[in-house]
């Protein structure tokens, strides 16, 4: 098990260093969830204790209080170059989207504004293939238009850890260093490394968050797992999907696909 984690760690650090070496202007998106916290940790390992590019939170002002407290503490302790990008209001979203999906789309538009204003050529995102079926179609280095459009049928081939890192003008690249990880890998690695965890992931009164998001569209699931050992044991037997607490996923069959195609993480 430790050897598997070592291999995943080495692969992710290789991707991080490759991106930093090949792409001129980078930022890392930080959702403050378990995956992006693990990605921050890997960045600190890759670059000898200091992250050499901005860490961006797309803020809707709808995160849970524990998330904001965790963000402020870690940003200070790890000396992060934290950029908080305020997302547009829900009224400005595509009104043809279902209501909960419209709320989630705010971060998509916040990211578009960030790219327009700051001209980042590469954005690192802590998504995993096993988390959601649409994300299973992703590449490690995934080209997008500046508006975030994703053509799933026109993605570069990636063989034997060789990645396309040069793209034409008018394109930005999403870099996904955790794509090969699973939810269990993240928890085992967090336990091994002692990575700080938002307390909401641990059960309280029979509920815990499997996935963190805005408080108006994300809810806890039934669980008694109050330690990482108990979370790992639970994940080995549960049939409940990781995103069960994401209300958007249950609203419309194509909600997530529609958001992804126009730039959602």
**Under 8 Å between Cβ of 178 and 39:** yes
CA distance 71 to 77: 10
As for how many domains the chain has, the answer is 2
> Cα-flanking dihedrals φ and ψ of residue 147, to 5°?
-85, 0
Q: Are both 162 and 58 inside the same structural domain? A: yes
32 and 138: one domain?
A: yes
In a domain, 123, yes or no: yes
DSSP track, 96-133: TS-HHHHHHHHHHHHHHHHHHHH--SEEE----GGG-G
Q: Are residues 106 and 213 in the same domain?
A: no
Query: 83 and 176 share a domain?
Result: yes
* Same domain, residue pair 55 and 150: yes
Q: What is the CATH classification number for the domain harbouring 15? A: 3.40.50.620
pLDDT (0 to 100) of residue 250:
65
Within a domain: residue 241? Answer: yes
Both 140 and 21 in one domain: the answer is yes
For the stretch 110-165, pLDDT in tens is 998 998 899 899 999 999 998 876 777 788 998 887 666 777 777 777 788 888 88
Instruction: Note whether residue 69 is domain-resident.
Output: yes
pTM of the predicted structure, to 2 decimals:
0.90
**Domain assignment of residue 222, given as a range:** 197-249
The answer to whether residue 124 sits within a structural domain is: yes
**Long-range contact list for 258-261, CB < 8 A, 24+ apart?**
258/97, 258/101, 259/97, 259/101, 259/104, 259/105, 259/108, 260/134, 260/135, 260/150, 261/149, 261/150, 261/152
Q: How far apart are CA 28 and CA 174, in angstroms?
A: 10
| Nearest one of 181, 180, 187 to 238, comparing CA atoms | 187
On whether residue 192 sits in a domain, the answer given is: no
Instruction: Say whether 164 sits in a helix, a strand or coil.
Output: coil
In angstroms, the CA 168 to CA 183 distance is 34
Q: Are residues 143 and 232 in the same domain?
A: no
**Which tens digits make up the pLDDT trace of 181-190?**
999 999 999 9
| 119 and 159, same domain (yes or no) | yes
Residue 58 and residue 144 in one domain: yes
Domain-embedded: residue 167: yes
Which residues of the chain form beta strands (DSSP E)? Answer: 26-29, 55-59, 82-86, 122-124, 141-145, 171-175, 207-208, 221-222
Query: For the chain, first and last CA: distance in Å?
Result: 29
Which H or E element spans position 7?
helix 2-22
- The answer on pLDDT for 261 being more than 70 is no
Check whether residue 136 and residue 231 sit in a common domain.
no
With b for 16 or more beta-carbon neighbours within 10 A and e for fewer, the 134-144 pattern comes to bbeebbbbbbb
Query: Is 189 a domain residue?
Result: no
Cα–Cα nearest to 202, from 227, 238, 232: 227
In a domain, 52, yes or no: yes
Q: Are residues 143 and 224 in the same domain?
A: no
Do 164 and 96 lie in one domain? The reply is yes
Give the mean model confidence (pLDDT) for residues 64-72: 97
């Amino acid at each position: 098990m430790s050897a598997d984690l070592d291999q995943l760690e080495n692969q992710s650090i290789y991707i991080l260093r490759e991106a930093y070496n090949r792409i001129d202007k980078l930022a890392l998106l930080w959702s403050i969830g378990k995956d992006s916290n693990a990605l921050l940790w890997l960045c600190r390992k890759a670059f000898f204790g200091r992250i050499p590019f901005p860490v961006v939170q797309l803020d809707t002002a709808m995160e849970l209080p524990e998330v904001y407290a965790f963000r402020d503490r870690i940003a200070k302790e790890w000396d992060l170059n934290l950029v908080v990008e305020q997302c547009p209001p829900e009224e400005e979203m595509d009104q043809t989207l279902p209501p909960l999906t419209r709320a989630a789309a705010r971060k998509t538009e916040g990211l578009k504004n960030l790219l327009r204003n700051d001209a980042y050529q590469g954005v690192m995102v802590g998504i995993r293939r096993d988390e959601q079926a649409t994300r299973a179609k992703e590449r490690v280095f995934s080209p997008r238009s500046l508006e975030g459009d994703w053509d799933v049928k026109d993605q570069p081939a990636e063989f034997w850890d060789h990645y396309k890192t040069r793209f034409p003008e008018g394109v930005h690249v999403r870099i996904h260093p955790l794509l090969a990880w699973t939810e269990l890998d993240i928890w085992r690695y967090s336990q091994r490394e002692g990575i700080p965890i938002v307390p909401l992931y641990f059960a309280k009164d029979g509920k815990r968050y499997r996935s963190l998001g805005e408080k108006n569209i994300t809810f806890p699931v039934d669980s008694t797992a109050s330690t990482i050992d108990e979370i790992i044991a639970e994940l080995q037997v549960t049939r409940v999907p990781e995103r069960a607490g994401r209300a958007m996923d249950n609203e419309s069959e194509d909600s997530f696909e529609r958001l992804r195609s126009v730039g959602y993480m």
